[in-house]
Amino acid sequence: MSLDNILNHWSDYRKGSEEGGHHDYEHRWAMAINLDICNGCNACSTACYAENNLAVVGKERFEKGQAMHWLRIERYWDQQDKDYPEQGASFLPMMCQHCGSATCEPVCPVAATYHTPDGLNAQVYNRCIGSRYCSNNCPFRVRYFNFYSYYESAWPEPMEQQLNPDISVRDKGVMEKCTFCVQRIRTAKDKAKMEDREVQDGEVMTACAQACPTSAIVFGDTMDENSVVSKLWKKHQVERGVYAKTKLAKKDKDLRGYRIFEELNVDPSVMYLDRVREDI
């Protein structure tokens, strides 16, 4: 009975993320993106379009800001860097950060976005009613809304043949975003289960990581201590629940790891490694 349930689990149900929450994670998928070797080629973004059935919206709608690129390459020019124009822009691949305490989650009125036991921030297209509050409350602005029925024009015949059958094509009125290629995670987990073993590091590779020519994107499970991602996170002293301040206290030039907007306390799952610029 529900009342018994409340009384028996009261202390468990009252735990926020600070006390560990009540989640029992099986995996915590995460990324490490080395900006030093990212050359801004956009292959990751293209791979994402192909893998995840992202609609190409056309020039006009793109200019209006109605594009659907789950993974975008952000370009920044440092104003202080006028002395070294040949160094060009810095690039930053930006996708859903799959925050541990995601701000998009509590604001959804219908519980269409939730946290999976894999540590993913999942979007349930069928449940979404399109209030768009999640996108408004996302500091990274990585949620994309189907402003039109894009599928009607995005894949003229015979291009619909290239659609990925593992995932759906979304109609107007729902929110979508990077899933960390959840369909690949699913396949790998199913395979591992059938072979009665754990998912191995490197077994799951997101489309962006696979396509990156310089291997700037590393994907893996931070709960697996031997995974490449875990080691990178540890090496750069980036830890879940530990925020910028505690880390900056140690001055070490090799510590390039950071998570974007760590100070907002949202606990992102993507670590970036800062670009190293030449000092003169």
Partner 1 sequence: MSKKRIMGLFSDFEEAHDAIADIRRNAVPGLTVDNVTMTSPIEHPEVEEILGDRPVHIQKFTLFGAIFGVTFGFLFLSGAQATFLVQPQGGKAVIPLPSNFTLMYEMLIFFGVWFTFFAFLFLSGLLKKRSALYSEKVSLDQVAIIVEIDGSLDEPVKELFQKHKVLEIREEVVQ
Partner 2 sequence: MVTEKDINEQIAWAKINTDVLESMENPRPAFWVTLAVCVAMVACAVLAEYIQYTEGMGTANLNNPHMWDMYIAAFVFWIGMSHSGTLLSAILHLIHADWRKPIYRFAEAMTTFSLLTAGLFPMIHLGRVWNLYWVLPYVSDRGHWPNFRSPLVWDAFAISTYLTASMLFLFVGMIPDLAICRDNTSGWRKKLYTVLSLGWVGSDRQWRHFRKIYLLMACFLIPLAVSVHSIVSADFAMSIMPGWHITSFPPYFVAGALYSGCAAIITLFILLRYFFRFEDYMTLAIMEKTCKLTFAIAMVWTYLNLIEFASIWYGHDMYNKELLIAKATGPYAPIFWTMIFCGSVLPFTLAFQKLRRHMPTMFVVSLFLNLGMFFERWMIVAPTLSMSQEPHQWDVMYGSIIEWAIVFGSFGWFGMLFLIFVKVFPSVSMYEVKEMVFHRKRSAGEEDLARMTDHSKPVTQTTGGEGA
Burial of 163 (0-12, 13-18, 19+ CB in 10 A): middle
Among positions 20-59, residues that touch partner 1 (CB under 8 A) are: 21-22
Q: Does 103 bind partner 2 (CB under 8 A)?
A: yes
Among 9, 22, 141, 191, binds partner 2 (CB under 8 A): 141
Contacts of 122 (CB under 8 A, 6+ apart): 113, 114, 115, 116, 179, 182
Could you tell me how far CA 6 lies from the centroid of its own chain?
A: 33
Binding partner of 2, given partner 2, partner 1, none, CB within 5-8 angstroms per partner class: partner 1
Q: Is 107 in the site for partner 2 (CB under 8 A)?
A: yes
**130 touching partner 2, by CB under 8 A:** yes
Cβ nearer to partner 2, comparing 73 with 185: 73
What Cα–Cα distance (Å) separates residue 97 from each residue in 21, 32, 124, 166, 189? Answer: 19, 11, 17, 22, 21
CA torsion sign for 92, 69, 160, 164 is positive
Residues in region 239-278 near partner 1 by CB under 8 A: 266-267
Buried b (16+ CB within 10 A) or exposed e, 185-202: beebbeeeeeeeeebebe
Per CB under 8 A, the list member of 23, 139, 200, 231 interacting with partner 2 is 139
Residues within the interface to partner 2 (CB under 8 A)? 61, 64-67, 72, 74-76, 92, 94, 103, 106-111, 127-133, 135-137, 139-141, 144-149, 172-175, 261, 264, 266
Residues within the interface to partner 1 (CB under 8 A)? 2-3, 5-6, 9-10, 12-18, 21-22, 99-108, 111, 113-115, 266-267
